[in-house]
Amino acid sequence: MKRGLPYALVLFLFLALIASWAFRSSALFYYTGEEAPFAQLAALTQLLSSHLRPWPVTQPYVPVAYAGVNPFGINTFLEQEVEPEKREQAVKMIAEAGFHWIRQEFPWEDIEIHGKGDFEDRRHKPYHSAWDKYDHIVELAERYGLELIVRLSNPPAWT
């Protein structure tokens, strides 16, 4: 028992020396991508504990299970098109190309422009509902058999 104590002490000092060097150099940043010491320590703990968990089996050429849904979609920016005819032409071309999903952004700042619960666009005359453009996009998607993934973004200035 007494013989093992010096070896354990040397091992502890060696590990402390390595840890001290790692914190002073950029070694932990290289392995973890974190800059703050506590974040580096947390990331290093996660990195080391990942070797205790089973890794997923990722064999090449393993077929993906069919989900029964058309997986093809496209990012669109239809809200930026001024002319409704061109917006419809774009949606028609998307449907003819075989896409099934449209990922469309609905900027919040363009829907509730002037204040909470105020859905009238008074930036230009004649005034109109701020939803008109977005209702048209939804109607076009339904007409051409497309499904929408809508992302609400950009809070208005009044928030």
The reply to whether 40 and 80 lie within a common domain is no
The reply to whether 91 and 29 lie within a common domain is no
Q: What is the dihedral of CA 17, 23, 27, 28, to 10 degrees?
A: 120
pLDDT band (50, 70, 90) for residue 57? confident
The reply to whether 78 and 25 lie within a common domain is no
The residue behind tokens 């010096």 is 6
pLDDT band (50, 70, 90) for residue 130? very high
Please say whether the beta carbons of 103 and 74 come within 8 A.
yes
Q: Residue 62 falls within a domain, yes or no?
A: no
The residue behind tokens 């076009």 is 140
In tens, the pLDDT along 14-36 reads 677 666 766 666 777 887 888 88
Q: How far is CA 75 from CA 26, 72, 91, 102, in A?
A: 40, 11, 11, 6
Q: Residue 66 falls within a domain, yes or no?
A: no
Q: Is the pLDDT of residue 55 over 90?
A: no
Domain that holds residue 18: 4-48
Tokens matching residue 69? 């849904």
The reply to whether 83 and 117 lie within a common domain is yes
How many Cα atoms occupy the beta-carbon half-sphere of 68 within 13 Å?
A: 0
Q: Residue 60 falls within a domain, yes or no?
A: no
Q: Residue 57 falls within a domain, yes or no?
A: no
Query: How many domains does the chain divide into?
Result: 2
